[in-house]
Structure 1
């Protein structure tokens, strides 16, 4: 009986309806069963006709109109136990659902799926309860299935739980989500992929807890690539390894820890559990880019030597930092009795190829009888590194390698050459992938052997990086190509470095022509920057594309090859057009500093035709881009041909007017999909700023949802554009991705008629106060913004808004502040000082406030004293620049900040004030260094004033003699300082003597550059400087810049005469600009100076390679 008094018949009443007896009951039940069977059969037939696949199901679920139907289909597949092959179901591409939809969809999913791929939308806070419920459902069903006889389950029975693998795409779960998700995911699971998810310490401990409690006992594959296990002193890794030590993973076969900077210490932690008792079945160990050095590799080699990984088949150590000893120790461990199953070994490194002696030892091990049955070894080989004296002594005895003799001491180049010849001749057949990084004459021995060998080399893949090759080497490479013996290139990095000789350019053309004979089906990256490509070379490249000789190419870099001209660029574009399929795999096209901007319209048309439909990165900065090109690009955007574009750089292109930009931005806003993947948009030094309001409209419409880096520096941004962007910020419509950067500088853009002085002097400064106010007024602010640059506009009170935004939590991730030339006053620095005291600038790493002439000593003192007086200061600040301020004496506050210990990460510090340091301030700053209280990481110290401003300064210049005197009295080392710049002040005789003491006593062992331009240094002071070196030397100093001072050629002569030989033997640059201008006959003075320099070089007082500018 219902509460309303209306009787509702139950099932039993329906069965016994009309007073039927027992016989009627049986008939009714049979009829009901038959009816249900007919219904189920009809549904099965319907679903089978649908031919439901994972792709079909996901496509239905993606659309609002068909979402319900998708859920019904998924539910019926499970309910009716329909045989549908769902080996993998990738949910990461589905749109963000409401929590209700998430719950409905997950509740309907069949558990017969073998692998589930999930993205961030499934594990965020709003969806987490439903996702957790789904995981509990999987866990409960798996437990029930343990009690069933699996033989009774049909081959395609959807009721049987088959979820064996879980893949969480990058940034799906973080440290806080891991403790809730991992314990539910792991039980019974065979494969877990957490690649790109930041577990850090908390997540690592959650994984460790699951391992220790036996929840990971079934795990066969564990992918922890780029999960932050190295953070906080390797706490995450240590927790996981400790758990494995307590509860071994007996069936784990694949372990991936790549892209975690474990270092040698982390490898030591891993090696403690890398043994039969804890990880007995490990077959694949992947440790790419883990920061492993020689010590770590030696530790791993000890594990291998001990026979602790007998099942190991794959060892991947690509892109680590080992060089010498580690490689030799690893080579000695490669014995078949220790790793009998080892098949694949990857030792490719980046720019740190093993020295020649170590590489020789490895090659010898790989060709020995006791080597494991390796099938694929991947190596990096360089031609010039040969090891130190100790290695030479170890290899001092002559030994045989094939038919070539290898000598230790005195024969290091022979060893390097022998290694190349062994590999080129194919005498190490297990090396199947080779990464060659060769320079100069090193190209010849390898390819000479390739040509001479009786058979083709054993390689299946090769990366070739060539720098400054000699002609004979290029000819040998060309010959190998013509013989079709080098058709397996994967990456080509060709660096000729200008200027190039005509003969070398001719050899280059011959090399390129060999691609017509030997197509390169594997070539994915082709770097040809600034190598002087001619029009003929460009025609060859166009022909390769047209004839389909580069079918796999993903990256083409032709930057800086303006020699090919318009016709060369046209030939390459024509080749793309005439190719039947174009270059569909092409993802990155770098055409900076070429003439390709004239053909952007054609490139857009190729995209429309589907011949560049995977293009992701397009760079056309400084490329003669014209208005027609922008219109052509707009057409491609309008029809959705560039939806894969993630980066677009069109900088340094002074298009005549802004109509083309307006059309491009309008096309983005009005197209169906816009540019949905575009993250980086570079418009610097163009006229795009005049149409910024149109771009803002496109963003407002959601057509640039992935945008995270917008650079509109010097684009002539106007009030209308600033207002439009302020509206975006106020309404939270600007994408706020983590790590995003916003540059809205209002400086003038370069014009085609840049000789017009009036155009350059036009006042383009724009008021940005409303922009900063909008951030504070918005509901969310910009939570992901890491860098903000508004240089060139006007920010009178906006600085206060900036501080307010920081204190209100509207800019929680801000790390870089660049507000230069913005007419800001003291209020900005005073407000930032308050923010420092509140502790809300703890993530800021860079502050650059330059050319703000309205800031005085009050603001500077307030900000710097706030750092010194605050509890934590600026703990992550690495750069602080306060250039070109018209301030009074601020030396005491500078000293207070530098000596406070509140700038522990500061590396570069610069102030540039008129009269900013009185004598007391100078001594105070010097005292900070004298007493060893300066920031421990400080590298660059700049207290300079630009020469032009110094010459025009109305007040007295700062006298740096007291500062230098304090620095010279420092007794211990200040190891970090690499550069000191005191330009624009005054340095007398005492100061120059102190500077000589600083350079000669070794107190600053890493100091390589000293700049004292326009410091009124006279002849006497310069001579005293040289005299002070009579008993000292500084082999580390590479640059001494003394332009614009008061000494003349007689002073220079006295300086060079007094300078002891070899005292500045590392000097590569000496700046003496401005001397000849003091002489009546400038040409004669230059000749005399040149003679003085040559004499000093002949006497060993200046190095022969030292460049002297005067």
Structure 2
């Protein structure tokens, strides 16, 4: 190829200087008269020169065509290599999205992928997540990223990244200036080394989504992150979940959140957040008017701190998701939250699960949910609800026309009192998920659900969780199973017993199986701890003969 390019580089010289071979033979006159005059000789020379020029032009034309063919062949070869590479991994080729997640990539595969990047100039998304062998080989890939300068998304979840990989990734930031999403979650070796990456971020970085979930981040990493928030003003999603040592630096991070006013999602689940960090976060909320999701769940040490940290929470008029589950919320906290949460006019999802004071509070929040008509999901599992608080919820839920998910699991008061939700379940035409696990349900509760479905209600129900309700008698199951067919859209059903239990399936199994055959959408069935005979097992296996369903039983 270089030889061809070298010949084309000096066409002028070729015209002025015919080849030595042509000059040599030009001095001979084969088979012609020797009696030529000077004019004829001159004309012959001119004609020969023109012929040489024409020949040179033809040579150049051939060379150009050959060069073009070689170029096409090289390009086609690269495309073929890429297609073969993807086929080997059982993936379909896509010029813009390269998804190789969970493909058991080897170090050699990563090196081969790096060699293919020059043929993928249109790639905008690369995902190598859940490939442990990527760790230690990332540099081979990052040095080729200049070939994919349209790259916007890079996902490297659970790749066992090393310190060297983090350094290489940092250096790549100078190349992939258009990167908008970076996901490094579940790489525990990043802990203590985040500064190797953050110090390479340039001012005006286009990053919109940064996820560093469960990376063993330290307080020092939190400080490094805080220092670069001012250079990523377009940040919309920040996920620092499951980094329990970050709590010590959360106040510093909160102070710098003012530099990302367009933040829409902040996930701080299980971050070791403490009361001072919660206070700092509340102060930062005044700068985050665009926030759509706030998750501070599973931070037990913030319990008791809400009374001093909700001054700016009510100002989040665009907030759609608020997750406070398992935060050790106190009754005093509930008094404050009962005043603030009803002011979040755009709220669609509220999770207060595993906070026992929700049901015990003298200022019940549940009755005030009526002021949140956009609510689609209410999760109050294991909240110590009483019959009174269940009644308050039932009354408020009448004003929630868009309710799709209701989780009342692990509230024992529901057993025998499900009828209190009669009006709610009758009017909630959008409800798709109903979770009643470990609620001490009795036969009458199942009969109530069946009658609702047979009367045309709960028509869109897709998931029904009745697990861990050992209190339901065999007669109750026998009456319930034939009516299951009324739940036409049901895709998931769980009737498993508690781990400590084991009961014979009884005579109601036939009714269950008959109903299942009338539920074409059913994909999952949980029947753990129910004792099945060999015949019953075979019948279930026959029901699942096309392997399109997931049926769980272990007794």
In the superposition, the TM-score normalised over structure 2's length comes to 0.71
Asked whether the 8 Å contact 2:208–2:236 carries over to 1, the reply is yes
Alignment of 1:902 with 2:513, yes or no, is no
Partner of 2:114: 420
Q: Deviations over 1:86-123 (max 9, x none)?
A: xxxxxxxxxxxxxxxxxxxxxxxxxxxxxxxxxxxxxx
Query: Which position in structure 1 is the counterpart of 2:506?
Result: 891
Identify which of structures 1 and 2 has the higher relative contact order when contacts are C-alpha pairs closer than 8 Å and 6+ apart. Answer: 2
Seen in structure 2, the aligned counterparts of structure 1 residues 857 and 886 have a Cα distance that, compared at 3 Å, is farther
- TM alignment of 1:684-763, pairs within 5 A: 684-686=353-355, 687-691=357-361, 693-696=363-366, 698-700=368-370, 702=371, 704-729=372-397, 732=398, 734-737=399-402, 740-744=404-408
1:510-589 aligned within 5 A = 510-515=196-201, 518-519=202-203, 521-545=205-229, 548-566=230-248, 568-576=249-257, 581-589=258-266
Q: Which residue of 2 aligns with 1:675?
A: 344
Matched, 1:644 2:321: no
Aligned residue number for residue 167 of structure 2: 475
- Matches of 2:374 and 2:362, distance apart in 1: 18
- Residue aligned with 2:497, SS: strand
Instruction: Tell me the distance in 2 between the aligned counterparts of 1:675 and 1:528.
Output: 28
The alpha carbon displacement at 1:851 in A equals: 4.2
Mark the CA change 1:712 to 1:458 in structure 2 (over 3 Å): closer, same or farther: closer
Secondary structure at the residue paired with 1:603? helix
Task: Note the C-alpha offset of 1:710.
Answer: 1.7
How much does 1:708 deviate?
1.8
Compared CA separation, residues 898 and 464, structure 1 to 2 (3 A) = same
Shift of 1:549: 0.8
Q: 1:793-808 alignment to 2 at 5 Å?
A: 793-796=413-416, 798-799=418-419
Structure 1 contact 895–928 (Cα < 8 Å) conserved: no
Note the C-alpha offset of 1:448. Answer: 3.2
The Cα offsets for residues 864-920 of structure 1, whole Å up to 9 and x where unpaired, read as 2445xx7x6756353140525999975332024314633444444445789x77xxx
- Give the C-alpha shift of residue 528 in structure 1: 0.6
Classify the secondary structure of the residue corresponding to 1:715: coil
2:281 to 591, 603, 614: 603
Instruction: Quote the Cα distance in structure 2 between the aligned partners of 1:903 and 1:648.
Output: 34
Work out whether 1:356 is the aligned partner of 2:82: no
Alpha-carbon distance change, 935 to 833 in structure 1, aligned in 2, over 3 angstroms: farther
CA shift for structure 1 position 434 = 4.9
Residues 197-231 of structure 1, C-alpha deviations (whole Å, 9 max, x = no match):
xxxxxxxxxxxxxxxxxxxxxxxxxxxxxxxxxxx
Change beyond 3 A, Cα 1:607–1:880? closer
Matches within 5 A, 1:23-62: none
Deviation of residue 601 (structure 1)? 1.9
Q: Is the 8 A contact 2:192 2:217 kept in 1?
A: no
8 Å CA contact 1:845–1:878 kept in 2: the answer is: yes
- Assess if the C-alpha contact under 8 Å between 1:436 and 1:462 holds in 2: no
Tell me: CA distance 1:690–1:634, structure 2 relative to 1, closer, same or farther (3 Å).
Answer: farther
Using a 3 Å threshold, how does the CA distance of structure 1 residues 823 and 554 change in structure 2: closer, same or farther? closer
Q: Distance in 1 between matches of 2:539 and 2:413?
A: 36
Secondary structure of 2:154 counterpart: strand
Higher helix share: 2
Return closer, same or farther for 1:899/1:794 CA change in 2, 3 Å cut-off: closer
Structure 2 CA distance, aligned partners of 1:378 and 1:927?
46
Tell me the distance in 1 between the aligned counterparts of 2:465 and 2:155.
Answer: 38
* Cα distance between partner residues in 2 of 1:559 and 1:886: 35
Q: CA deviation at 1:679?
A: 0.9
Partner of 2:14: none
Give the 3 Å change call, closer, same or farther, for CA 463–650 of structure 1 in structure 2.
same
Q: Which residue of 1 aligns with 2:59?
A: none
Which residue of structure 1 lines up, in the alignment, with residue 16 of structure 2?
A: none
SS at 1:793's partner residue?
helix
| 1:876 aligned onto 2:490 | yes
Does residue 663 (structure 1) correspond to residue 336 (structure 2)? The answer is yes
1:960 maps to which residue? none
| Structure-2 change in CA distance of 1:619 and 1:597 (3 Å) | farther
Shift of 1:378: 3.8
Is the CA contact 2:319–2:344 (under 8 Å) kept in the aligned structure 1? yes
Task: Return the alpha-carbon distance in structure 2 between the equivalents of residues 723 and 383 of structure 1.
Answer: 47
**SS of corresponding position for 2:310:** helix
Q: TM-score, normalised by structure 1?
A: 0.38
Residue 977 of structure 1: how far off its partner (Å): 7.0
Residues in 1 aligned to 2:170 and 2:265: alpha-carbon distance in whole angstroms: 26
The answer as to whether partners of 1:435 and 1:464 remain within 8 angstroms in 2 is: yes
After superposition, give the CA deviation of every residue in 1:683-739 in whole Å (9 maximum; x if it has no partner).
111233333854245434x3x23222121222223454334334324xx4x2211x5
Q: Is the 8 A contact 2:386 2:413 kept in 1?
A: no
Check whether the contact 2:169–2:197 (CA below 8 A) recurs between aligned residues. yes
User: Following TM superposition, by how much is the alpha carbon of 1:433 offset from its aligned partner in structure 2, in angstroms?
Assistant: 3.8
- For residues 309 and 192 of structure 2, what CA distance do their matches in structure 1 show? 36
Q: How far has the Cα of 1:836 moved from its partner?
A: 5.7
Tell me, in whole angstroms, the C-alpha distance in 2 between the residues paired with 1:667 and 1:507.
39
Aligned residues: 466
Deviations 1:829-864 (A, max 9, x none): 344455565565654433333444543222222222
Shift of 1:444: 1.7
- Structure 1 gaps of 5+ residues are 1-327, 333-352, 367-376, 388-411, 451-455, 748-790, 937-972, 984-1110
Report Cα offsets for 1:457-477 as digits up to 9, x if no partner: 671543222222244433333
Taking the TM superposition and a 5 Å limit, the aligned residue runs for 1:220-619 are: 356=85, 378-380=96-98, 382=100, 417-421=111-115, 423=117, 427=118, 430-431=121-122, 433-435=124-126, 437=128, 439-449=134-144, 459-466=149-156, 467-481=159-173, 484-498=174-188, 500=189, 505=191, 507-515=193-201, 518-519=202-203, 521-545=205-229, 548-566=230-248, 568-576=249-257, 581-598=258-275, 599-608=277-286, 611-619=287-295
1:797–1:827 Cα contact (<8 Å) kept:
no
Return closer, same or farther for 1:486/1:519 CA change in 2, 3 Å cut-off: farther
What does residue 132 of structure 1 align with? Answer: none
The alpha-carbon deviation at position 811 of structure 1 amounts to 4.4
Tell me the equivalent position of 2:479: 862
Structure 1 residues 381 and 863, CA gap change in structure 2 (3 angstroms): closer
* 1:551 to partner: Cα distance: 0.9
Alpha carbons of 1:980 and 1:628: their partners in 2 closer, same or farther (altered >3 Å)? closer
* Counterpart contact for 1:590–1:619, Cα < 8 Å: yes
Distance change (3 Å), C-alpha of 1:355 and 1:647 = farther
Could you give the per-residue CA deviations for residues 218-272 of structure 1, whole angstroms, max 9, x where no partner exists?
A: xxxxxxxxxxxxxxxxxxxxxxxxxxxxxxxxxxxxxxxxxxxxxxxxxxxxxxx
2-side partners of 1:536 and 1:685: how far apart?
31
Whole-Å Cα distance in 2 between the matches of residues 381 and 924 of structure 1? 44
Q: Give the C-alpha shift of residue 666 in structure 1.
A: 1.4
**Residues 838, 512 of structure 1: alpha-carbon distance in 2 compared, 3 angstrom cutoff:** same
Output the CA distance in 1 between the equivalents of 2:192 and 2:313. 40
1:632-653: per-residue Cα shift (whole Å, max 9, x none)? 4431145xx2112111111111
Match of residue 49 from structure 1: none
Instruction: After superposition, give the CA deviation of every residue in 1:323-369 in whole Å (9 maximum; x if it has no partner).
Output: xxxxx99969xxxxxxxxxxxxxxxxxxxx97625699xxxx99xxx
Structure 2 vs 1, CA of residues 444 and 642 (structure 1 numbering), >3 Å: closer, same or farther? same
- Please state whether the residue corresponding to 1:492 is helix, strand or coil: strand
